[in-house]
Structure 1
């Protein structure tokens, strides 16, 4: 039974190594499909952008709360970049459907 299990694991590993390049070729063809691009755009507009707006608002609030501490530490610019500018740019300054 132990030898059978080892052979099964080796066989499944070999099959998965053969299947991965085939799946990546299929995924590249699928990425060029207009329906998939439209789905990505719709998902971005309906789900990701509203979440980005929430992240921008929450990051802005956290930035305001942490502003006295970051000013004392001399790292106001990195705090601004990570908490407010990055979520804002992700939400408003990128093409629809590109993540």
Structure 2
């Protein structure tokens, strides 16, 4: 096959795949009874993507944020916003990485 035919085949397949309609995700009911978790009801693919991609990136962001916090600590101490800097650079990525349920998009937990 020459280059033109290969390029035409790849273009045709790509165009065909992009023309497919997007299908809506059907959320199965959850047995936990928690309305917050039932609203999210993560699927297996979302959980696998969360474990393999999102959590390692968020843990890396937490480590990088901690390093940036240490570098900016003298300046934030002079400015009087150490707490805000710690929360935004370390706390937010750590909360997303360690508190959010597996596959969920809403972080945190409810305190009743």
TM-score (norm 1): 0.67
3-state SS of paired residue (1:95): coil
Larger Rg over CA atoms: 1
Aligned to 1:92: 98
Q: Deviations over 1:47-92 (max 9, x none)?
A: 0000001000000000000000000000101100100000000000
Work out the CA distance in 2 between the residues paired with 1:76 and 1:41.
34
> Structure 2 regions of 5+ residues with no counterpart?
1-21, 30-41, 106-112
Q: By percentage of residues, which structure has more helix?
A: 1
Higher RCO, Cα 8 Å, sep 6+ = 1
